[in-house]
Structure 1
C-alpha cells in the first residue's frame, strides 16, 4: 500500500516491482522526514500474534500465486508446497533486511502490538505497508474522519520479477473457515434459528448496511437508495458511527445485491455512493492511473481453482495430528526467525537465512504438512467433478 500523497508527489508513476516500491518510499522519506511534527515512518510490517501472516506470506503473492494462505498449489500436479523456501522468499526477506538497515522499516515494527500498529497508521505517519485492508480499515477510516484523505492508501500488486503476473485480489469463492454453533445448553433452538433468519432478511440487511430511511439514507423515485451530503459526512465520522452504527461482525450476512435487485447490500458498493464519497485526491489518483475504483489497481486471481482457498483446511487440523503439529512448529520457527533475519541486516543475511532454513527443516514435518494439504486439494477437485457431472445428468 502507498499513501496517496506519495504517489501525488512522484507524479503517479507505475510501480510494478518491490525494488521500485522501496526506492519511491526512500525518496519521499528523505524529502519529508516529518509528518505533522512527528517522524515519518517508511514501512510497517504487522507481525503481532496470529496477524503475522502480513510478515510471512508475501513470497506467495510475489511469485504470482493467489491467497491460498497455507501453501502454493501446482495446478498441473495438484501438489501443495510450502512457500517459505522458494527463491522469492529468500529474495524478499533479503530486501527487507536491506530496507531495515536503511531506516525505511520502522525499528519498532516487530515489537509493536496490533493497537500500536493501528495508532501509527491512524497518525498518518506511515507511508506504506503490506497488509489486508480489513486489518487497517479502522485506521484508514480514522484518517478520513480527520479529513486527511491524502494520508490514506492505494493498493499495488507488486512482484519481484516484472514478467510474473500477480494475483493479489481474491475473486468471490466459498470460504468454509467460519460458521455458527448452537450450544447444547440452548433451550430455544427454534428461536435462535428464527433470529438468524431475521438478521439476513431484506429489512434487517438494509438496517445493518444503510440504517434507517429518512435518517441515514433516502430513496429516490426509482427506488434507488442514496445519502445526502450530511448523511455521508455522518458515516465518515468514526465517533458518530461508533454511537449510531450497527455492526454484527462475523454473524451471518451476505453482500452483493439486495432482493429488490436495485440496491447494493453495502452502501460503498452502490456505484453512485462510492463515487459520491470520493474526494479530490481520490479522483486525482484514480484518473491518473485510468481506474474507476480501488480494486482496479490489482489483478484478480484467474482462474479460480476448486481448492481455493486451501487455508480453510489448515483450520481443521487438531494439535495432536502430524499436520497440526507441523503447522504449529512452522509458525513458531517463522515467528522466531523472520524478524531476526530482517533486523540482522544484509551483512548477516546469508548466515541468518541458513540458520533459519536449518531449524525449519529440523523442526517442521514438511511432508506431513504438504501431504495433508495435497490430499485435500485433490479431494476438492474430485468433488467438483462429481458435482458437475451430476448437474450435467440432471
Structure 2
C-alpha cells in the first residue's frame, strides 16, 4: 500500500540522487548540468514511437495529434510519445457511461464532471509507483499538494492541473468575477469612483435614460448570464457583493471557519430586490432568463449593453469583438462593486489548488510509464516556458534584470489563434500537468500574469482610463485577496448520489425557478415571491449541507485534505 509519507520520503531520496548525479557528472564530464536535466537523466526514457488516445471531456477543441504542433513534435523527439487528442462532443455522462459499460477506455482521460463515475468504475490505474520511478519533475512540482489528491486508500489516480510553484501571481487584468461597465460611461461623467451597488446602478440608469439607443439599437442597461451550468454567474453575485470570493454555494466566516449558504440570505434578497426595481423601471434585459450563451455573447458584442456581472474568462470572445470593432469607449471595464462602503472586495481569487479534477491514465493503457515520462518532460521549466511564453527572442524578450517582456508585435503574434494552435500553446496550456505561479527566476509562468506584458498590451485608449484612475493595470482597482487556506470550498469531493450532490441539484432547480419569478415580479409581489422561494429552499436539508462544508473547511485549515 502506497502512503503519503512514502511518497514524500521518495521525493527526498530523489533529491539526494539528483545531487549525487550532478556531482558525478561534474567530476567525470567536467561540465555542469542543472538539476532538472540531471533528474531527467536518471530516468531511462524509451524512444520507440508510440501514440496514445487522449480524451478530453472537460473542454471543447480541435481534435489533433500532438506531434502536429511545434511543442508536441519536440516532446515526441525527446520521449517518443505522441497523443491523438479527442474532445467531447455531446453529453459527458452518456459518453463516459458507454465507456464504463463496455470497459473500453481511451488511454488517457480528462474526465471533468464524470471523474467520480470513472473512479468508481475502476477506470484509472494508481500512479504512485509510476511517479516514484518515472516522474521526479512531477513530484517536485506537485510536492506541496500531493496530500490534496491522494485518496483514502493511499493512491493517486489522476494529476490535477495548475500546481502553484514559487510565488502566487495574480492576473494584472481581471479574468474572474466583477461588475463590468461600458467604460465610455465613466468618461462621460468624469471618471467617478464607483464602489457600491447603488453607485454602479445609478450611473448606468442615468446613462440609459440619456441614451435610449446606441448605434440605432435599443440600449440594454443591465443583463446577466443565466444559461445552463453558467447560471452560477448569476447566483454568485450576492456573495461577491458581501465581500466574499467564489467558494461555491457557501460563504465562509473568516474567524470561525463555519460555512453558510447565501442563496436565501439577506444578501441575496437585497441583490434580487435591486434587479426587481430595475425591471420595474424597464431597465433590465427582458431576455436575461431565456437567452442562451451565444445570444448573451452576441448582445455584449453589439456594444449596446451598459453593464453586467460575469467572470472575465466567460466572455473573452465578446471582448475581442468589441476591440476589433474599433470603438474603445464601448469596451468594458471591471469594477469591484460591493453592497456598502467599508466592505473589502474579494473578487481576485486567493491562491488556490483544485484537487478534485485532473487527468488520469486508464486500465487500457499499455506501458503507462511512457505517458508519465512525457508528462514529466512537459512539466520542466524550460518546456513550461515554451507553452506559456514561446521562444525567447521570437515571442518574448528578457531585459537586463532578467524580466520577461513582449513587444506589441510579439503580443500580436502569440495572441493569434492560428499561431497558438500550430505552436501548441492551445493544446498544452490546460488539461495537462502544468504549473502556475512563477518560475524559479521570478517571472510569471503565464505571460498574461506578467505586469510588464499587461502594460505593453494596453493601447492609448486603455491608458486614458488607467491614468484617469491612477493605476498601471486594471486589476489595481481591486483589493488583494485575503489568505484562505481552504480555498476554494467548492473543490470538495462531492460524489454523485451523495446528499450534498442531491442538495445542489435540487437547490439549483429551485433557484432557477424562483429567482426569475422574484426578479420579474410586480414590486408589490416581491415579498410574497421571496417568501415562497425561502419556503421551497428551506424544505431541503440546508443544515446538513452547511455542516458538510464547515467540516471540509475546518479540516483544510488543520492541513487535512
Return the TM-score normalized by structure 1: 0.88
| Equivalent residue for 1:274, pick from 438, 447, 454 | 454
CA contact 1:144–1:236 (8 Å) conserved in 2: no
Aligned position for 1:390: none
Per-residue Cα deviation, 1:48-107 (whole angstroms, up to 9, x for no partner)? 111111111111122222221220122333321111222111111011111122232211
CA contact 1:4–1:281 (8 Å) conserved in 2: no
30-39 or 167-176, which moves further after superposition? Answer: 30-39
* Misfit runs of 4+, over 6 Å: 242-245
| Equivalent residue for 2:541, pick from 365, 375, 390 | 365
User: Between Structure 1 and Structure 2, how many residues are aligned?
Assistant: 380
1:239/1:147 Cα in 2 relative to 1: closer, same or farther (>3 Å)? Answer: farther
Per-residue Cα deviation, 1:215-247 (whole angstroms, up to 9, x for no partner)? 434556766544443333345556766676731
Aligned position for 2:311: 132
List runs of 5+ in structure 2 lacking aligned partners: 1-179
Aligned position for 1:297: 477
Alpha-carbon separation, structure 2, partners of 1:331 and 1:139: 27
CA contact 2:219–2:304 (8 Å) conserved in 1: yes
**Aligned pairs for 1:232-243 within 5 A:** 232-235=411-414
Alpha-carbon separation, structure 1, partners of 2:361 and 2:355: 17
1:53 aligns with 2:232: yes
Return the TM-score normalized by structure 2: 0.63
CA shift, 1:167, in A, is: 1.8
Aligned position for 1:381: 557
CA contact 1:43–1:127 (8 Å) conserved in 2: yes
CA shift, 1:308, in A, is: 1.9
Alpha-carbon separation, structure 1, partners of 2:253 and 2:401: 49
Alpha-carbon separation, structure 2, partners of 1:196 and 1:10: 53
1:328/1:115 Cα in 2 relative to 1: closer, same or farther (>3 Å)? Answer: same
- Greater percentage in strand: 2
Alpha-carbon separation, structure 1, partners of 2:480 and 2:402: 32
Give 3-state SS (helix, strand or coil) of 2:306's partner.
Answer: strand
Aligned position for 2:278: 99
| Equivalent residue for 2:410, pick from 220, 231, 235 | 231
Aligned position for 2:439: 258
Give 3-state SS (helix, strand or coil) of 2:307's partner.
Answer: strand
1:320/1:289 Cα in 2 relative to 1: closer, same or farther (>3 Å)? Answer: same
| Equivalent residue for 1:205, pick from 384, 392, 407 | 384
Aligned position for 1:391: none
Aligned position for 2:165: none
Per-residue Cα deviation, 1:234-268 (whole angstroms, up to 9, x for no partner)? 45556766676731333322233334x16433223
Higher-Rg structure is: 2
1:142/1:196 Cα in 2 relative to 1: closer, same or farther (>3 Å)? Answer: farther
Alpha-carbon separation, structure 2, partners of 1:300 and 1:220: 27
| Equivalent residue for 1:334, pick from 501, 511, 518 | 511
List runs of 5+ in structure 1 lacking aligned partners: 388-394
1:224/1:106 Cα in 2 relative to 1: closer, same or farther (>3 Å)? Answer: same
| Equivalent residue for 2:320, pick from 124, 138, 141 | 141
CA contact 2:451–2:473 (8 Å) conserved in 1: no
Give 3-state SS (helix, strand or coil) of 2:466's partner.
Answer: helix
